[in-house]
């Protein structure tokens, strides 16, 4: 336990860069560290790095390019393509270990928070792994090997923090079927504020995911939005692009947290991926979206089915979206308090030696 009042923590946040989801859910903890006056380092790359730089512009953060494999997806047959990239993924963990050693030594890192980056750890630095995937969604026959793989890496961290609620269990069997011994729920994470006015848009579509699926979803949502005379908002997930209006459809490339919360609060129909970070935002606001899993991503397919079964949420495939077959929103999502328990967990970590 640190008792020296002059001690200034230097915290490294490492974030998986497969899209923006991991970056959005880590934003509240990064902001908490800044508010505490700690030295904040963030390591990631790609879209996640661009997003965090835009959201934290002007704030005291040291950004680092973190190595990692470039995972690519196909329009069809994505699972097979991912399997072929496993050797590169394993090499990426080794590269992360070397990178972390260099960062810790160069910047006197005192604590590490790693969101799904198995190699971002150091034997002399207290480190936690944030993950809701203690059981990876793999085909039957590979589940045990996948579970042992996660356990092997997770045990090298001081703790595993699950961004979920023990009762609601938003992540289902991914987190709770085979919990790690050092795992604990830290409540849900969401960057969205609650004290905002409702926006004017009746339809809100949130585009996310890797190419080519991001663009396919964007095109299909715009076509769907133009079928009625109601004001609609498309959140395109393209940091750095410009906002514009196309008839009754407003297109925002990368809204800030207040803008996004306002838009979702006023929407009657929300369409989004079943990525876990998007689901956390829905639970923070108590909204019932129509969920569209990214093709070939078994985690999102499972989560869409889990939410349909547990909460009665409407789902459809991307192919159905492209053909204009969107279901009516249904269900009841439990509204959960976001961030408070996670901030407390971070305080406890940083107070530890």
Burial class (CB in 10 A: 0-12, 13-18, 19+), 58: exposed
Say how far apart CA 168 and CA 186 lie, in whole Å: 13
pLDDT at 149: 86
Count of alpha carbons within 13 Å of 84, Cβ hemisphere only?
8
**Residue 163: is its pLDDT beyond 60?**
yes
pLDDT value at 78 more than 70: no
Beta-bridge mates of residue 251: 234, 244
CATH 3.40.50.80 corresponds to the domain 10-189+338-351 = no
Residue 208 binned pLDDT confidence (cut-offs 50, 70, 90): confident
| pLDDT given for residue 102 in this prediction | 98
Looking at the chain, which residues constitute the CATH 3.40.50.2000 domain(s)?
10-189+338-351, 203-322
* Contact (Cβ atoms closer than 8 angstroms) between residue 22 and residue 74: no
Closest by Cα among 81, 46, 63, 77 to 12: 63
Report whether pLDDT(347) > 90. yes
What is the pTM (predicted TM-score) of this model? 0.91
* Mean pLDDT, range 243-251, rounded to an integer: 93
For residue 221, the model assigns a pLDDT of 96
pLDDT band for 73, please (50, 70, 90 cuts).
low
List the one residue out of 288, 286, 279, 273 whose CA is nearest residue 329. 288
DSSP of 252-305:
ESS--HHHHHHHHHH-SEEEE---HHHHHHHHHHT--PEE-PPTT-HHHHHHHH
| Rg value, the chain, Cα | 20
Sort 147 into a burial class: Cβ within 10 Å, 0-12 / 13-18 / 19+. Answer: middle
Element housing 349 (H / E): helix 340-351
Q: Which fold has domain 203-322?
A: Rossmann fold (3.40.50)
Which tens digits make up the pLDDT trace of 265-324? Answer: 999 999 999 999 999 999 999 999 999 999 888 899 999 999 999 999 999 999 999 999
CB 81 within 8 A of CB 295: no
The sign one gets for the Cα dihedral 283, 288, 293, 299 is positive
The first and second tokens of residue 74, run together, are 């196909």
Q: What are phi and psi of 232, to 5 degrees?
A: -135, 155
What whole-number distance in Å separates Cα of residue 271 and Cα of residue 173? 24
Rounded CA separation 283/189 (Å): 10
Q: How large is the average pLDDT for residues 81-97?
A: 72
- DSSP character for 46? H
């Amino acid at each position: 336990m640190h008792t020296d009042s002059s001690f200034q923590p230097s915290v490294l946040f490492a974030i998986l860069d497969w899209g923006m989801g991991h970056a959005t859910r880590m934003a509240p903890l990064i902001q908490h560290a800044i508010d505490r006056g700690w030295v904040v380092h963030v390591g990631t790359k790609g879209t996640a790095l661009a997003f965090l730089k835009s959201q934290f512009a002007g704030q005291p953060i040291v950004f680092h390019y973190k190595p990692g494999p470039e995972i690519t997806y196909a329009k069809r047959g994505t699972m097979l393509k991912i399997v072929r990239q496993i050797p590169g993924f394993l090499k990426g963990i080794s590269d992360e270990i070397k990178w972390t050693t260099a960062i810790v030594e160069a910047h006197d890192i005192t604590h590490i928070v790693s969101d799904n980056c198995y190699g971002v750890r150091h034997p002399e630095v207290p480190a936690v792994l944030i993950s809701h995937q203690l059981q990876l969604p793999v085909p039957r026959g590979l589940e045990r090997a996948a579970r042992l793989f996660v356990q092997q890496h997770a045990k090298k961290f001081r703790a595993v923090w699950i961004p979920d609620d023990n009762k609601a269990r938003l992540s289902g069997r991914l987190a709770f079927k085979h919990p790690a011994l050092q795992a604990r729920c830290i409540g849900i994470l969401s960057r969205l504020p609650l004290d905002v006015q409702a926006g004017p848009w009746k339809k809100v579509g949130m585009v996310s995911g890797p190419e080519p699926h991001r663009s396919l979803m964007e095109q299909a949502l715009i076509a769907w939005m133009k079928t009625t005379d109601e004001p609609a908002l498309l959140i395109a997930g393209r940091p750095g692009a410009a906002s514009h209006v196309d008839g009754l459809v407003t297109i925002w490339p990368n809204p800030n947290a207040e803008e996004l919360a306002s838009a979702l609060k006023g929407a009657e129909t929300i369409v989004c991926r079943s990525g876990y970070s998007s689901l956390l935002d829905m639970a923070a606001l108590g909204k019932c979206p129509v969920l569209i899993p990214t093709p070939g991503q078994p985690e999102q397919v499972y989560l869409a089915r889990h939410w349909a079964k547990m909460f009665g949420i409407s789902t459809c495939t991307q192919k159905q979206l492209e053909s204009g077959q969107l279901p009516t929103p249904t269900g009841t999502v439990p509204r959960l308090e976001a961030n408070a328990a996670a901030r407390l967990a971070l305080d406890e970590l940083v107070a530890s030696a």
